């Protein structure tokens, strides 16, 4: 059974490039253009890993992370962002609430993305 990855990012180019790279690596990939859509897809699917943007209109990445954690506290969530400093206080608050996540800084090279996903799901 192949592993399913959910990409939640408002930038279509990021969703497409991550989907292409991870699909070519043998993963099943689904994507969402907003936090709200991502939470709904997570709720309705068997997701093994989430790649999550922070800065999105509507529900931001930290709010999305909190909603995902209400449903599943174990699935690996990697926040992939160029705006980690802007969300530092919110991320620190989530960390203090024992909400687990990792942070990857954009831009992410294809080889690095595959290495991280393979390491987590392999």
Taken in order of first residue, the domains within the chain and their CATH numbers are 4-117 (3.40.50.2300)
Q: What are phi and psi of 53, to 5 degrees?
A: -80, 155
Residue 120 scores a pLDDT above 90:
yes
Average pLDDT, the chain: 94
Q: Are 102 and 78 in contact (CB under 8 A)?
A: yes
Three-state SS at 6: strand
Please tell me the distance from the alpha carbon of residue 77 to that of residue 50, in angstroms, as a whole number. 5
Please tell me the distance from the alpha carbon of residue 26 to that of residue 72, in angstroms, as a whole number. 24
Full strand arrangement of the beta sheet holding 77-81:
28-32, 4-8, 49-52, 77-81, 102-105
**pLDDT, average across residues 80-85:** 81
47-51, 74-78, 84-88: which has the minimum mean pLDDT?
Answer: 84-88
Q: For residue range 16-70, list pLDDT tens digits in order.
A: 999 999 999 999 999 999 999 999 999 998 999 999 999 999 999 999 999 999 9
Residue 1 scores a pLDDT above 80:
no
**pLDDT, average across residues 80-104:** 89
Residue 15 scores a pLDDT above 80:
yes
Structure tokens at 92: 């620190």
């Amino acid at each position: 059974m192949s592993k399913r990855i959910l990409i939640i990012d408002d930038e279509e180019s990021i969703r497409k490039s991550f989907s292409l790279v991870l699909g070519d690596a043998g993963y099943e990939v689904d994507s969402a253009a907003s936090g709200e859509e991502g939470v709904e897809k997570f709720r309705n699917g068997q997701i093994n890993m989430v790649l999550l943007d922070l800065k999105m209109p509507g529900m931001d990445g930290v709010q999305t992370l909190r909603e995902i954690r209400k449903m599943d506290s174990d699935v690996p969530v990697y926040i992939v962002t160029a705006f980690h400093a802007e969300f530092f206080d919110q991320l620190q608050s989530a960390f203090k609430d024992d909400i687990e996540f990792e942070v990857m800084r954009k831009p992410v090279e294809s080889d690095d993305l595959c290495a991280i996903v393979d390491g987590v799901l392999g």
